[in-house]
Chains A and B, each alone.
Chain A
Amino acid sequence: SQKIEQNSEALNIQEGKTATLTCNYTNYSPAYLQWYRQDPGRGPVFLLLIRENEKEKRKERLKVTFDTTLKQSLFHITASQPADSATYLCALTYNFNKFYFGSGTKLNVKP
């Protein structure tokens, strides 16, 4: 089955800097890769989706890249704010019938 790796160590950055989170996967490339935000005690919230034939996707301060050769996705938050502090999950799916989630990386943005 698909294995997804996200950095288990928390990422601590200063407000205003760019946060970069990594999602690596094994096996064959998914058709779609998603990023979610999860706050403590709450369910994940969908942020962005990128397709296998897309290199980059942007939404406001968020940017996602997808490299099927490296089997890696990078998630960037520019001009980070303390309110961006949360756990960020990546998820892979081939046909929206099964989703494989990573364990998430906790982001701490310090004022």
Chain B
Amino acid sequence: EAGVAQSPRYKIIEKRQSVAFWCNPISGHATLYWYQQILGQGPKLLIQFQNNGVVDDSQLPKDRFSAERLKGVDSTLKIQPAKLEDSAVYLCASSSTGNKETQYFGPGTRLLVL
């Protein structure tokens, strides 16, 4: 089966610009996660969706970050405006309702804010 797809793979923007990342989870996976991984650190959960509803977004900086999962499939994470400290890899992961133990991660989008 196809894995989690993410695009773009790399993005370079200047501070105060906007950027959007796209994620297509594994087919049939109801749960979708967005993580931020800063260099040298572990992934930090930003937001979790169950179908098209938000389960947890307590660590999402809502003044600049937003995410949506329309129709409960694909998801988009947006940053507006970007700050230097947003430079990181943004990982998307998904899991199925019957096997929540296993998260499948995409390759990530590497963001550099100049």
Residues of A that sit less than 8 Å from B by CB: 4, 6, 8, 32, 34, 41-46, 49, 89, 91, 96-104
A32 touches B105 (CB 8 A): no
A4 touches B42 (CB 8 A): yes
| B69 CB → nearest A CB, Å | 16
Dominant secondary structure at the B interface? strand
B42 touches A98 (CB 8 A): no
A-B contact pairs, 5 of them (CB 8 A): A44-B103, A44-B105, A89-B42, A96-B101, A103-B42
| Interface residue range, chain B | 20 to 34
Chain B residue with the shortest CB-CB distance to A99? B45
Give the residue of A43, A96, A102 whose beta carbon is less than 8 angstroms from that of B4: A43
Q: A-facing mask of B69-95, CB < 8 A → 1, else 0?
A: 000000000000000000000010101
Given contacts A42-B107, A43-B91, contact A102 B42 (CB under 8 A): yes
In the complex, which of the residues B41, B93, B101, B106 has the most CB atoms of chain A within 10 Å of its own CB atom? B101
Which of chain B's residues have a CB closer than 8 A to the CB of A103?
A: 40-42
Bound-state Cα–Cα, A98 to B2, Å: 25
Which of chain A's residues have a CB closer than 8 A to the CB of B56?
A: 97-98
Instruction: Judge whether B100 is part of the interface by a CB distance below 8 angstroms.
Output: yes
Given contacts A43-B108, A104-B42, contact A99 B103 (CB under 8 A): yes
Which of chain A's residues have a CB closer than 8 A to the CB of B106?
A: 43
Which of chain A's residues have a CB closer than 8 A to the CB of B33?
A: 99
Bound-state Cα–Cα, A46 to B94, Å: 12
A49 touches B45 (CB 8 A): no
A46 touches B55 (CB 8 A): no
B101 touches A98 (CB 8 A): no
Which of chain A's residues have a CB closer than 8 A to the CB of B44?
A: 101
